[in-house]
A and B are shown apart, each in its own frame.
Chain A
């Protein structure tokens, strides 16, 4: 890609955001409504709150809970996914339970987690982990099961160890599907991060935002939305970069990117 092409692509993709921001700015400039404050007052509130006085007290705790919960989900999902994917009997035994548990709307579990574990970090992390485990679990089961028979033959004739079969053959082979599950879970984890902070919490972006609404600091509430949008987009980009790197063989061998 030449510099000119790159510039054009960036230019085109900036048009709509810039237009929207300008419209918002102009249309809200003279706003007297308490519910639709002017963009400038929202940005002032954003600067005062999120740059960076509440970063240490709220943003970091939010992201830590999000990160730990997500990691927990990835670990549990892949671990049990490989187990269930390879051992038919275990899968049969647990499938009904899995189907039941994953059918409960995730947000419905918030009161349960508080009842069981209180209002600290633990219930939030565990709830994020639990909810986000299912997409990864189901995708891993599917991926591990769909492994090429030819590769199974190779693994057996060359007498690969169980460890090698799992880490060198089954997991890499299932990786594209595992990542598909992880991508769904990433969005879930972000939602659950906010939701768990809106009930029974004393810190976090969700807590600050809900608190702002309840105490009529409407610009701060809107600033929270901007922060969430930015954070979500950022996490997505990080995820895509990791995925491209780990699955580079997959994309290149199937001809989806050069």
Chain B
């Protein structure tokens, strides 16, 4: 069943005439328990899209509906993991309290809450790390804390913005498999934004391919690869290579040279609020 429907979503920073158009027209949907990856060129409006989906940004046009209700503020069925773990965890709280904080509003009973935290830390393989502080952990472990916080919240859809972009390659593939196994365990839908085509194809049931800015959907690719997936086995399948090539071609058709245009710098400035 479809849970999230994005329909003709548009976002322009500033006013319509002179502003910067980050997203022109994006439509796709996410079904229950589905793993959808959004892939597109860097600086192509992916983060804008994701912030709009989370209800963190007002949109300029179109609609985002979760279970038939328009998203205008962060919905309770949604949890997010952001790219920069070091800025999304609270250094003044232990790992346990970081994971616990959002639960204070959803689980009133302390004992139940603690059990949930313990379960989430177990899921991400951080048993016994509850009393540590985030800054005592490696980057990959910090991102696992952020993932634990998100799944402890028991969302129906988990939104992830380039969650593995700030960790080294080894850690990265470990985290990819971790998120697959968590998805298998808790059955949440996942919407993951990435610029890494291999990662998108490896993880997803469907890949939404975006053009460069202003972003539009170029294609939605159904990835029919067997699960459970395996870093070696899946990635050496001929079909994996075909999907990969297909997505790469789509993206290459739209990308321009790597120099950020004045527009792109404007968007970056708008995004970072300076």
Q: Indicate if the CB atoms of B101 and A249 lie closer than 8 Å.
A: no
Partner of A164, one of B56, B87, B88, B104: B104
B90 touches A169 (CB 8 A): yes
A2 lies within 8 A of chain B by Cβ = no
Contact with A along B81-99 (1 / 0, CB 8 A): 0101001101111000000
Measured CB to CB, the nearest residue on chain B to A249 is: B92
CB distance from A118 to the nearest CB of B (A): 44
Say whether A158 contacts B88, CB under 8 Å. Answer: no
Stretch touching chain B among A56-64, A121-129, A145-153: A145-153
Indicate if B76 sits at the interface (CB-CB under 8 A).
Answer: yes
- What A residues does B87 contact at CB under 8 A? 148-151
CB atoms of B135 and A153 under 8 A apart: no
Contact indicator B88/A153 (Cβ below 8 Å):
yes
A154 at the interface (CB under 8 A from B): yes
Contact A154 B104 (CB under 8 A): no
A110 to B106, CA, bound (A): 53
Q: In the docked arrangement, what's the CA distance between A153 and B146, Å?
A: 13
State which size class the interface on A falls in: 20 to 34
Q: Report if A160 contacts B (CB, 8 A).
A: yes
Whether A8 is near chain B, meaning CB under 8 Å from some CB there, is no
Report the separation of the CA atoms of residues A184 and B78 in the bound assembly, to the nearest whole angstrom. Answer: 44
The listed residue (A150, A154, A157, A172) touching B92 by CB distance below 8 A is A172
Which residues of chain B are near A157, meaning CB under 8 Å? 54-56, 74, 78-80, 159
**How many CB-defined contacts (below 8 Å) exist between A and B?**
71
A159 and B54 CA atoms in complex are apart in Å by: 11
Which B residues lie within 8 Å of A158 (CB)? 74, 79, 101-102, 149, 153
CA distance A252 to B102 in the complex (A): 25
- Contact for B91 among A153, A156, A161, A253, CB less than 8 A: A253
A26 to B101 CA separation, bound complex (whole angstroms): 64
B105 within 8 A of A: yes
Contact across chains for B91 and A249 when beta carbons are under 8 A apart: yes
A149 to B93, CA, bound (A): 18
Interface residues of A in 212-258 (CB under 8 A from B): 249-250, 252-253
A159 & B76 in contact (Cβ 8 Å cutoff): yes
Given known contacts A159-B74, A159-B76, is B56 in contact with A252 (CB within 8 Å)? Answer: no
Asked if residues A149 and B273 are in contact (CB atoms below 8 Å), the reply is yes
B250 to chain A, nearest CB (A): 30
Among A151, A157, A164, A250, chain B packs the most CB atoms within 10 A around the CB of A157
Q: In whole angstroms, what is the CA distance A206 to B148 when docked?
A: 58
Q: Which residues of B contact A148 (CB under 8 A)?
A: 87
Instruction: Determine the chain A residues whose CB is within 8 A of the CB of B104 once the complex forms.
Output: 164
Tell me if A47 is interfacial: C-beta within 8 Å of chain B. Answer: no
Contact B80 A159 (CB under 8 A): no
A168 to B73, CA, bound (A): 21
B102–A159 CB distance below 8 A: yes
> A151, A153, A159, A161: which contacts B90 (Cβ < 8 A)?
A151
Q: How far is the CB of B159 from chain A (nearest CB, A)?
A: 8
B118: shortest Cβ distance to chain A, in Å? 19
Interface membership of chain B positions 242-271, coded 1 if the CB is closer than 8 angstroms to chain A and 0 otherwise = 000000000000000000000000000000
Q: Mark A88-131, 1 if CB is under 8 A from B, else 0.
A: 00000000000000000000000000000000000000000000
Q: Are B90 and A172 in contact (CB under 8 A)?
A: yes
In the complex, what's the smallest C-beta–C-beta distance from A210 to chain B, in angstroms?
Answer: 45
Cβ–Cβ < 8 Å partners of B105 in chain A: 159-161, 164
Binary CB contact string for chain B from 39 to 55 against chain A (1 if under 8 A, 0 otherwise) = 00000000000010011
Given contacts A150-B84, A252-B133, A252-B135, contact A156 B74 (CB under 8 A): yes
Q: Does A192 interact with chain B (Cβ within 8 Å)? A: no
Given contacts A153-B82, A154-B82, A253-B133, contact A160 B90 (CB under 8 A): no
Binary flags per residue of B152-189, CB closer than 8 Å to A gives 1, else 0 = 01000001000000000000000000000000000000
Task: Give every chain A residue within 8 A of B93 (Cβ-Cβ).
Answer: 168, 172
Other than the given A160-B105, A249-B133, 6 more pairs (CB < 8 A) read A157-B159, A158-B101, A159-B74, A159-B102, A168-B101, A249-B92
A residues with a Cβ closer than 8 A to B are 148-151, 153-154, 156-161, 164, 168-169, 172-173, 175, 249-250, 252-253
Can you spell out 24 A-B residue pairs with CB atoms less than 8 angstroms apart?
A148-B87, A149-B87, A149-B273, A150-B84, A151-B90, A153-B56, A153-B80, A153-B88, A154-B82, A154-B88, A156-B54, A157-B54, A157-B55, A157-B78, A157-B159, A158-B153, A159-B76, A172-B90, A172-B92, A175-B92, A249-B91, A249-B133, A250-B91, A252-B133
The chain B residues found within 8 Å of chain A, CB to CB, are: 51, 54-56, 73-74, 76, 78-80, 82, 84, 87-88, 90-93, 101-102, 104-105, 133, 135, 149, 153, 159, 272-273
